[in-house]
Structure 1
């Protein structure tokens, strides 16, 4: 966090005590407490400062049981300041599994026959390493969250890690687990989560939802019923879910609306791609042209492979 972000979070949470990383504690003029809350996750706000949410233990325990026990030991290669890695670590402890934590992913740390929690960029790095050096330890389950896993990456998992189950989940800080997918199956809502789509926007009614948000030391409760984080989505006739990204990341190019996240998902599946950011850049006739900035791993990815993936996985726009 920047100083501005930290000050904003402390103003909204109004804590009784602040303990710095240097071990020094300061007493603050804390506001009213709400019993039962154990975690205040933050999300990026549209004003440029984090939004402080309020979660109780029960809401996460529901998710622990929905995800179920995994083969142990479980590797969590990321900082617990991220709720994705914190969830993975507490999930393992909840089910009595052996837990290994690391600050970053090292393929030599992979638990042979166990499980690992990853984000798609880490999964891509793992698959690149497996292509360069076949063999070595392989987890029985890869749990992947934080962003959509492109079909091309799922194909690489099946090819390079044939004995590994890919368990992908879609969720949010506000709703925790919303839907899961195993290997190449459809993305489906988890138990007791009810989804509706209104004007192409996904609304979620879930017992895992946060209690509300903190503003200036006071809890602003979330109202009853479904809420949304603004994700665009489609529901299939058989109950499957397709997430299309946030409306705010839509690029208007030549009269066609292009979801930036859909382009990112396709290009992330190309070997050698560390990560991708897609945005619109000005164009004389199209208004905006869809532009991908590719972070390379081990040199520049093959441009022909990038273009082939785009042609195969995306519309001409």
Structure 2
């Protein structure tokens, strides 16, 4: 179909401009194969804004950046996640990483975990459940410790979802029946059953909006970073910069988990591969 026959004409120049903004502001690379996705998602913004073509939309994006840029980012980012996705990471965290990290922090009694690209919150809540289980098993030894999980994302909509901590029962397959009972309250909303995260895991998580390519406001270092299925949107040069910054903000020992389709080969030599997309900082 010719682009001229669409509801909102999008020229090659329009698409080049849009993906230029995406790369400059977020580091996200929008390949040619993403053109249809970009069109369909931004067409919704055109309808909301009452514009008739992408020339007008780009003008609004450039002239009112603070407002529209947030909507733009929310539109082009994809958020696919689930509780305990890639479960071997959480098993490794519980059985190996947390015992080592807590032993290393006996002087400060402080542990910090970062879920970078947390989407709608299933990952940080899975982390919180894992941490709570560890603390429950070691309640005497680690009572009163300062443990927090920072959950960040570029998309303000998914962060709001995470802060509310409300999830559909139908979409909670990764949770065991025991975890659902222990860590969530269930509400019957007529045709829909919902799970609401209990305070004992909500209190461990801080949700904040963050562009990974901009300056990070965090002052202290982290013990563990989960950055899974995020860098697939970045080119190699951006990945090199990002993983170098992760190494800088990780303690030693410090652990990094990435997505199953990602790897650090020829990207950085600052982590040792442990198998299963699990890495440990080496320098």
The answer to whether the superposition gives a TM-score over 0.5 is no
Give the TM-score of the pair, scaled to structure 2.
0.26
Give the TM-score of the pair, scaled to structure 1.
0.24
Higher normalized strand content (fraction of residues): 1
Higher normalized helix content (fraction of residues): 2
